[in-house]
Structure 1
Amino acid sequence: MTPRSLFALMLITATPSLHAAPMQWADIRDGSLYLQVDRPDTLQLRWSPAWQSDANQEQLYLLQPDGQLLQQLDIRADQPYGQRDLALPAASGDYRLQVPGYSFRNFKVSHDSSTLAQFEPAKVHFSADVPSGVELYFRVAAGEQAQLAGKYYGGVSVLQATRLSDGEQRRLQLVEHPQYGQFDRIALPVAAQDEVWRLSLGGSGKAAFWLDGSANLFAQDLRQLHPLQWLPGRVELELKPQRRGPSPQLGIALPYAAPPPSTFELLRALGPRAANFYSFVDVIRQEPERELSFRRLYRETFNIDRDITLLAGTGRQAVLTADSQTLAGLDAWLADSAQLGNRGLHYLAFADEPNLNYPSYEVFADYFARMLEHTKANPEARAAGVRIAMPVSSRLLDGPFRVGAGQRRGIDWARQLLAAHAADIDALAWHEWMIRDLLATRRYRASVRAAADLVGLDQQGRPRKALLLSQTNISSGPDLSPYQQDTHYAALWWTSVVINASQDGLLDMLNWFQAADEPEYPKGMLAQQDAQRFSLKPVARAQQFIQQHWLGEVQALDNRSFEVDALALVDGTRHSLLGVAKTQREQTIDLGGAPQLCESGPSLQLLGADGRARPGQLQCHQGRASFQLPGETLFALTWNTL
């Protein structure tokens, strides 16, 4: 009997046809479907709501075997249900259909059974919502020490692997863990030859399963298992003379205290020029001038002259009222700012993610108006560089993670506040979470453009209000995967986010959240060994690499590649091309439009998974440069014009 497989192998009533019966995968929420097509096929894609689909738009990507984008599927928030057919011409290599997590819809994909299909699930995060009785196949190559892993999300609770050659079995019970990043795993026996295993999923509902130490690929039919073919790619970049605008100040969220001296050199290595602070109104009311020392330290020792402060209560309590305690805390913060003097810009936000935390827009709008009037009564603060930022929402174009998110989009709350207080608002600020997929980071560019459209542009083409992406991370809160946060993946992700958010020269500030790991939130740039010892995580190595090649202005650059992001920067006669290859595919990079490049002694630096920068081999002839870029690698090409 044919096993039920991910996600429900569908057999259509047989009719005379040259094609075999269609095969269906459902319901995918996060992962990659690789498809090898030796004759033309059509992907039939259908979707239905999973959670908060009315508050969230989606993008799916279909990539050609060479990594170029064949089709981008845009789904609006008002499209909870829908379907689309995607043509797959016959080709050598593997197409890739990417369903980026976190997805708010269930996606069903049908294709001809002659198409070789393999599913790569996300690690730690759940990938699908499955019926009972699902069975899949995977291959472990000879000599590999593979581990089968999974996490319990209230659905699938047992993973059972059976080796087809001899019936050897391994059973993995999935249990609840106190921290999101914890999961269950079991080792599979090493064999002298390739082995195929059958995976049976016990239970139904949300499923999280994956392989470590072997290819993380699963098929419905064991005959469809095959090694992926990463065909070499080619990226053609063309530098343009136009200047887009200033590059944003890059920074991190810093603690509500002076950092240990043992971290000073690490912070200098990160080179932050911007910062996100919290100020706890109940604390500063009782301890006036408490914040002066560490705010002065960050400003004078680390040269951070652009920052944003979010008012909150102890423990980042988000909902405040304009009562005597809050107003006293506000006065104390403004007095500190005036005492620190006029150096740089210091944006003040009256609340942290109000669209997520406040009971309604009306409640927050009333609070905002009261706090604004109180702040305006202190002219010394504005003279010291204090500016007003709003609404500091949880996400901008989509809704926050809570009930009623469709009425809580950050951009909608910002629009209403601007209509009421535009003359007194200096900046539009927001936090961006849960764009976890490397191929989806282009959405950062879209959000910055939307923010600029909302505030409008002046005669110089600059946004009329500063745009501050004041907190961002791969995931929100504690919902973190160590495969992402603690590995080279975070380095690739952060570099890609920096490039996409900076691409149009519209953004003023971009901050990673947060500086150092905390016990419940291990999402810092620095890992903590003990109270005094810290170390650079892979994302910190990437930040260090970026800052070493960061220049003051963004220059226009044409880039048609989908898997390689690139950003051109300029400062006087200095030029920098910063980029990142986001997949395993090796790329040939070709750059034109820089006529003096070859005569200026250009330098090429690469940063791979080992975290060590190394020189690359650059070919340069008559103003065109080319080089080979390994997969999953950062690069920086620098030169000087005469």
Structure 2
Amino acid sequence: MKLMIKALIFGCLLLLSSCSNLIAQTIPNMRDGVVYLRKGDLMKDEVVTVKLAWSNAWIADSQEDHVFLQAPNGDLLKTVKVNSATKNNSAIFKLNEPGDYRVEVAGASFRNFTLSTHSALPMVFEPAKIHKSIALPRSGRMFFSVRAHQQASFSAKRYGNLSDFTLSSVTDDRRYQLKLKKHRHYWEHDTAVIPQSIRDEIYQVSWSGDGKVSFWLDGVPNLFSTKKSGLFEPHLSEGKASIQITDTIVGPVPSVGAAFPFVNPPEVTWPAIRSWNVEAANYYFFADDLKDNKHRDIAFLETYEQQLGIRKSNSILANTGRDSVLKPTKDHRSLIIDYLESRHKRGLLNDNYVAFADEPNLNYSSYDEFETYFGYLAAAIKNSDNPYVAQTKLAVPQSSRFLQGPTRDGAADRKGIVWAEKLIQQYGQWIDGISWHEWLVRDLIDTPRYHEAVVQANLLARKYQDRLGKDPALIIGQTNVSSGASLSPYEQETFFAALWWTSVVIQSSQAGKLDQIMWFKAADDPIYKKGMIRVNAKGVEHKPVSHAMHFITENMLPWVLEIKNKHPELDMLATLSKDKKRVSLLGVNKGKRAIKMNAVLPFLEGKIKLSKVTGLNEQGETDLSLRLTRLDEGNRQLGGLIPQETLFSVTLTVQSQ
């Protein structure tokens, strides 16, 4: 009997121990944000379990969402990819070593993600700013801290029924109320300023209502906890990146460019455009406008191509006023044929790919409606007896996104890659390029999506090689952090955009299969403040991404070398000159930790000289200390410390012996 009682007690203790390690504290329904978890020395001998669960929010059947778990040194421990084929609705993370772990729910996501873990484990949430980051329950509270003499502000943006926040000091009776208004523009929000204090303060956050919302802190670390005792500032340990660069050429670099407006750019902007060293462009041409003035765009096409160095492009046919659904009429067909003949006769748009509609998978009522329109125009152009018309290169589908569906109901049947395949099956002999727009990859850790899209587009082209009769150009005709006017100044106006664009160009280029990639757009306009520059009464103002564009194009050579790199926060592109006498390394440490890099270089005959090392961060150009060493097998290794949030480039020159 005593043995049975002891066994029962022991079993109960095991059960209690197991339960205490599960679902004791929770951050619910995250859509975009980071959770830091601190495993301290007191728990160093215990394997801490963290549960990630998810549920559908909107159009999830057309989307793949990503969640990343990073070790204290930044190594990627696990990636959870959730899509329509995922059968389970949860995953388990195990934290083995002591330190601060990082879990990122990459935005924009289309599911609600809930993280649950041990009650004793400190856990803080860093929400995305402006974009919806979480769906809060009707009752609850969070906490944040403000150090003495710090000036903080709490901001929030309304997305649904949650209508106000209350901030209450836990040490005295100070309270601040923030009512959330409905604003006209996406980037507008409400803010409560928290006066400085002579002592460290902790504030409790409570709210009225429930549902989707964004809230965040400026001036202090943007960190919240469900418990006062859970607050901490993460320590991001130095990372290590081991990179292998081979002498295998995988293909050419893409032409990097920007989307230019349907106007002649003011001469005051020409120096800025020239500083980007871009050789490619994305244009619109508007059928209704050209109907009234058939020479409307000749002057500025000549400016772009003859004055500003644009040598290749992709064009989108549309109507003004964001009218993207065009009809297969005889008048429309005649207008387009006359336009193409006129421009090609003038020597304009010689290396140009034409898309017949802007994001048809988003805007047309069905694939069938767009297919009828495309087939009507394509037949007339490709079968024309006029060589100036028949030489026109056509790109499809110029879709909103490629591997994911567009942001509309019924998106599962509207993925860009699906529409591209259908069009190739029907009209492959007339198709010269596969083109798409990429949006909503908002987090730096998730930019490998661009590499995957290029790889999948290339596989599609190879699958239908006989039908196409050629290797079609792969074109990312437009891209930005966000689509439309869903813009955040925390992204567009800051060095974040420089980090993001550099990472995107690197990831898109690594396969050596992409022909063009375009930042959308060259300059701000009154509605879409997503340009690289803004033009105002004072002249031209360069945003950080403008400086990044110059840095990128200055450090890309014609041929892409194969590279192997697993670190999630450091991206690198290795390119080779035509004479094989120079290697350029373009890289970015996009994380908030320094990374010790060791890159094994390709075998090159002759003496290698480290001829240029350049860094660029938020403050401007910065010095980097990198060195070359020789390995036992004869290869060289480049090593050194790359500071956090820094673009870098290295030029290696081969000197004949």
TM-score bracket relative to the smaller structure: over 0.9
Q: How far apart, in 1, do the equivalents of 2:103 and 2:222 lie?
A: 16
For 1:195 and 1:381, the matched residues in 2 are separated by 74
Q: How does 1:317-328 map to 2 (within 5 A)?
A: 317-328=323-334
Contact 1:47–1:80, Cα closer than 8 Å, also in 2: no
Report the secondary structure of 2:16's partner residue: coil
Moved more, 621-630 or 274-283: 621-630
Task: Tell me, in whole angstroms, the C-alpha distance in 1 between the residues paired with 2:114 and 2:347.
Answer: 59
The within-5 A match list for 1:500-579 is 500-530=507-537, 533-571=539-577, 572=579, 573-579=581-587
Contact 1:269/1:544 (<8 A) preserved: yes
CA contact (8 A) 1:147 1:188 kept: yes
SS at match of 2:496: helix
Aligned to 1:609: 618
Q: Cα deviations across residues 147-188 of structure 1 (Å, max 9, x unaligned)?
A: 111111123221211111112111111111111111111111
Q: Is the contact made by 1:238 and 1:591 (CA closer than 8 Å) also made in structure 2?
A: yes
CA contact (8 A) 1:590 1:625 kept: yes
Q: Which letter does structure 1 place at the counterpart of 2:403?
A: L
Amino acid at match of 1:628: L
Match of 2:639 among 626, 639, 642: 626
Q: Secondary structure at the match of 2:316?
A: strand
1:595 positional shift: 5.5
The 1:88–1:566 alpha-carbon spacing in structure 2 relative to 1, beyond 3 Å, is same
The offset of 1:82, in angstroms, is 1.2
Change beyond 3 A, Cα 1:602–1:463: farther
1:188 alignment partner AA: I
Distance 2:203 2:122 in 1: 17
Alpha-carbon distance in 1 for matches of 2:278, 2:613: 23
Aligned AA for 2:611? P
Q: Which residue of 1 aligns with 2:75?
A: 68
Instruction: Measure the CA separation in 2 of the matches of 1:268 and 1:211.
Output: 38
1:101-180 mapped onto 2 (5 Å cutoff) = 101-180=107-186
Structure 1 residue identity aligned to 2:198: A
Deviations 1:397-448, CA, capped at 9 Å, x for gaps:
1111111111111111111100011111000000011111111111111111
Secondary structure, aligned partner of 1:297: helix
CA contact (8 A) 1:345 1:385 kept: no
Contact 2:157 2:190 in 1 (8 A): yes
Q: Specify which of 481, 484, 487 is matched with residue 488 of structure 2.
A: 481
Q: 1:25 Cα shift?
A: 1.7
State which drifts further: 237-246 or 374-383.
374-383
Alpha-carbon separation, structure 2, partners of 1:167 and 1:570: 65
SS in 2 for 1:142: coil
Report the counterpart of residue 187 of structure 1 in structure 2.
193
Measured in 1, the distance between the counterparts of 2:652 and 2:549 equals 20
Amino acid at match of 1:218: F
Contact 2:285–2:317 (8 Å) recurs in 1 = yes
- Count residues with an aligned counterpart: 625
Q: Structure 1: how far apart are the matches of 2:365 and 2:88? A: 29
TM-score by length of 2: 0.92
Separation in 1, partners of 2:550, 2:32 = 30
1:498 aligns with 2:492: no
Matching residue within 580, 584, 593 for 1:585: 593
3-state secondary structure, aligned to 2:376: helix
Q: Shift of the alpha carbon at 1:511?
A: 0.3
Instruction: Could you tell me which runs of 5 or more consecutive residues in structure 2 were left unpaired when the two chains were aligned.
Output: 1-12, 631-635
2:469 paired with 1:465: no
* Residue 216 of structure 1, aligned match among 212, 216, 222: 222
Shift of 1:240: 0.3
Q: Distance in 1 between matches of 2:470 and 2:111?
A: 34
- Partner Cα separation in structure 1 for residue 613 and residue 470 of structure 2: 34
In 2, are the aligned partners of 1:598 and 1:624 still within 8 Å (CA)?
no
In terms of mean alpha carbon deviation, does 335-344 or 159-168 score higher?
Answer: 335-344
Query: 1:25 touches 1:109 (CA, 8 Å); kept in 2?
Result: yes
Distance 2:458 2:170 in 1: 57
Contact 1:282–1:326 under 8 Å retained in 2: no
Q: Does residue 86 in structure 1 map to residue 88 in structure 2?
A: no
Structure 1 length as normaliser, TM-score?
Answer: 0.94
Separation (CA, whole Å) in 2 of partners of 1:601 and 1:81: 51
Tell me, yes or no, if the aligned pair for 1:607 and 1:614 is still in contact at 8 Å: yes
**Paired residue for 2:365?**
359
Contact 2:563–2:573 (Cα < 8 Å) also in 1: yes
Report the equivalent of 1:36.
38
Which of residues 292, 314, 318 in structure 2 aligns to 1:312?
Answer: 318
Q: Distance in 2 between matches of 1:382 and 1:214?
A: 61
> Once structures 1 and 2 are overlaid, which stretch shifts more, 151-160 or 429-438?
151-160
Q: 1:567 & 1:116 partners in 2: Cα distance?
A: 38
Matched, 1:16 2:16: yes
1:372 to 360, 373, 378: 378
Query: Does the 8 Å CA contact 2:38/2:123 hold for their aligned counterparts?
Result: yes
Q: Is the contact made by 2:381 and 2:390 (CA closer than 8 Å) also made in structure 1?
A: no
Q: CA deviation at 1:385?
A: 5.8
Counterpart residue number, 1:433:
439
Q: 1:29-69 CA distances to partner (integer Å, 9 max, x unpaired)?
A: 11001111233211212111100001111221111111010
Is the Cα contact below 8 Å between 2:247 and 2:603 reproduced in 1?
no
* Whole-angstrom CA distance in 2 between matches of 1:241 and 1:58: 35
Distance between the aligned counterparts of 1:338 and 1:50, measured in 2?
48
How far apart are residue 602 of structure 1 and its match? 2.6
The structure 2 residue matched to 1:600, chosen from 604, 609, 625, is: 609
Name the SS for the 2:499 alignment partner.
helix
- Compared CA separation, residues 324 and 314, structure 1 to 2 (3 A): farther
Deviation at 1:275, TM superposition (A): 0.6
Bigger radius of gyration, 1 or 2? 2
| Superposed displacement of residue 113, structure 1 | 1.0
Please give the per-residue CA displacement for 1:439-495, whole angstroms capped at 9, x wherever unaligned: 111111111111111111779xx9821100100010000000100011000000001
Match of 2:57 in 1: 50
- C-alpha change, 1:41 and 1:601, in structure 2 (3 Å) is closer
Residues in 2 aligned to 1:594 and 1:603: alpha-carbon distance in whole angstroms: 17
Secondary structure in structure 1 of the residue aligned to 2:138: coil
Letter matched to residue 623 of structure 2: P
Provide the C-alpha distance between the structure 2 equivalents of 1:148 and 1:350, rounded to a whole number of angstroms.
46
Following superposition, the deviation at residue 621 of structure 1 comes to: 2.3
Q: Return the offset for 1:270.
A: 1.4
Give the equivalent residue in structure 2 for 1:636.
649
Q: Does 1:274 align with 2:280?
A: yes
CA distance in 1: counterparts of 2:71 and 2:205, whole angstroms: 29
| Counterpart Cα distance in 1 of 2:109 and 2:423 | 29
Distance 1:193 1:222 in 2: 16
| 8 Å Cα contact 1:67-1:562 kept in structure 2 | yes
> Is the Cα–Cα contact under 8 Å of residues 308 and 349 in structure 1 kept in the other structure?
yes
Aligned residues of 1:598 and 1:620 also touching (Cα < 8 A):
no
Which residue pairs with 2:238 in the alignment? 232
2:207 to 198, 201, 206: 201
The CA distance in 2 between the partners of 1:574 and 1:333, in whole Å, is 43
Q: 1:303 aligns with which of 293, 300, 309?
A: 309
1:384 Cα deviation after fit: 9.0
| Pair 472,370 (structure 1): closer, same or farther in 2 beyond 3 Å | same
Identity of aligned residues (%): 35
Verify: 1:254 aligned to 2:260, yes or no: yes
Q: C-alpha displacement at 1:144, in angstroms?
A: 1.1
RMSD: 2.1
Question: What secondary structure sits across from 1:637 in the alignment?
Answer: strand
